[in-house]
Amino acid sequence: MIKPHGSEVLTPLIVADSVRRENLLEEAKTLPQLVVNSAAAANAVMLGAGYFTPLKGFMNKADVMSVSAEMRMSDGLFWPVPVANITTSDHSVNVGDRIALRDPNVAGEPVMAIQEVESVETLSPDEIAQIALHVYGTTDSEHPGVATFKALGDQLIAGPIEVLNLSYFETDFPETFRTAVQIREEISERGWETVVAFQTRNPMHRAHEELCKMARDAVSADGVLIHMLLGKLKPGDIPADIRDAAIRKMVELYFPPNSVMITGYGFDMLYAGPREAVLHAVFRQNAGCTHLIVGRDHAGVGDYYGAFDAQTIFDNSVPDDALEIEIFCADHTAYSKKLNRVVMMRDAPDHQKEDFVLLSGTRVREMLAAGEDLPPEFARPEVARILMAHYAAEGA
C-alpha cells in the first residue's frame, strides 16, 4: 500500500489507550482551559484521525509563514496549508503550560485535546494578509475562507497535542465518518492496491458519478473512495446528512457491488482552491489512496480561481518528490445530447454548448427549491428525490 506522507507509518494523535485517556481527562480539570474556534477544532480532529500525518500538533509562527509562502515547514517537510491554533488575545495561556482545548461545536464544550504550549506568538496585520494571499490567493473578505481566517484572531498557540475525542463526527455520522487508520484498514481488508479518491462537499450528480467511473477505468483502480467533507460549510451548501443519503443511494443503484467505499472526514471547508486541492492530496495519501481526482474549480468558490488552477499547481508548485499520490486531472463533465452519455467536455471538440445538458449550481438549487424535477441527464431520479425532499422541508 502507498506510504503515508513524510512517514513510514500513520501517526494519529488520538489517545487510543482508555486508561491514559481517562487520566488525561482528569488532568484536564486542573489545567488552563481554552475554547478553540471551529477551525482549530477541525485541525485537531484531522491530527487525531491521522489525516495530517506526520504533524505532531499546531504549527508555530515560523512554520505557518514558511508553509504559507513556500509550502514547506522549517524542517523541510512539504505541507500546503498552515495547521494552527489561532485565537484572540483574551486568554491567559503561557509558554510551558499544558492546556485543555475545549470543543466549540459540541454542547457543553467538552475537552477534546490537551496541548503542550511551546510558543505563544502574535501575527501582525501584515502577516495575516500575507498568509491569506498565499493560501487563498486573495485578501478579499468576501471570500468565505478569507473571512473565516481573518476572524480567528492574531495569537498563535503552538505545540504538540494529544487528542481525546473526534468531536461530533463519530456520533453524528457513525456510518460515514472514518479515520485515516480505518480507511487504510478497510482498503487492506478489501485487497485493493490502486484506489481513486473523489473529494466532495456536494451531492453527486450524473457527471460526478461518471467521472469516478472514468477515473477508475483510466487507472485500472480496484476501487473508489468517495470521501465527503462532514464539517462546516458556507451558507446555502447542502447539509452533510442529506449529501450522505443521496450519495449512498447513487452508489447502491449505479455502481457495481463492493467497488466503492463511502466515507467522510471531519474538517471545515477552506474554499482555498489550489492550495486546498494539494491538502486533499496529502491526506488522501495518508488514507491509503494512490490517486486523487482533481476536477474543474476543485475546492473553489466564486470567481477567485481559474477553472484548472487546482490542477496546474501540481505541475508548477508541487515538487516531483513531494507526494506519492498521483493526480487524475479531469475536465468539466456533462451529458452529451449527441452521444447520449456523460463525457468530459475536452473529449467532445465537435460539440457546441447547446449539445450538453448544463445546469449551474444556482439553477439546480432554484429548481429543487421550486419542487421542479431535475433533468435525468443531469441527476439520477432517486438522488433528485432526496434533494427535493430536503428543499421542500427547508421551505415548509
Show the cell assigned to 333.
463533465
With helix as H, strand as E and coil as C, how does the chain read?
CCCCCCCCCCCCCECCCHHHHHHHHHHHCCCCEEECCHHHHHHHHHHHCCCCCCCCEECCHHHHHHHHHHCECCCCCECCCCCCCEECCCCCCCCCCEEEEECCCCCCCCEEEEEECCEEEECCHHHHHHHHHHHHCCCCCCCHHHHHHHCCCCEEEEEEEEECCCCCHHHHCCCCECCHHHHHHHHHHHCCCCEEEEEECCCCCHHHHHHHHHHHHHCCCCEEEEEEECCCCCCCCCCHHHHHHHHHHHHHHHCCCCCEEEEEECCCCCCCCHHHHHHHHHHHHHCCCCEEEECCCCCCCCCCCCCCHHHHHHHHCCCCCCCCCEEEECCCEEEECCCCEEEEHHHCCCCCHHHEECCCHHHHHHHHHCCCCCCCCCCCHHHHHHHHHHHHHHHC
**Type of residue found at 198:** F
Of 21, 202, 248, 296, the active-site residue reads 202
Q: Which of 268, 318, 266 is nearest to 292 (CA)?
A: 318
Of 72, 98, 190, 201, the active-site residue reads 201
Catalytic status, residue 202: yes
The whole-angstrom separation of Cα 121 and Cα 98 is 16
Q: Which of 362, 299, 360, 293 is nearest to 331 (CA)?
A: 293
**Type of residue found at 196:** V
Residue 282 has phi, psi (to 5 degrees) of -60, -50
Taken in order 107, 109, 111, 115, the sign of the CA dihedral is positive
Q: What does the chain come to in residues?
A: 396
Show the cell assigned to 38.
471551529
Q: Position of cell 449505479?
A: 254
Residues with active-site annotation: 201-202
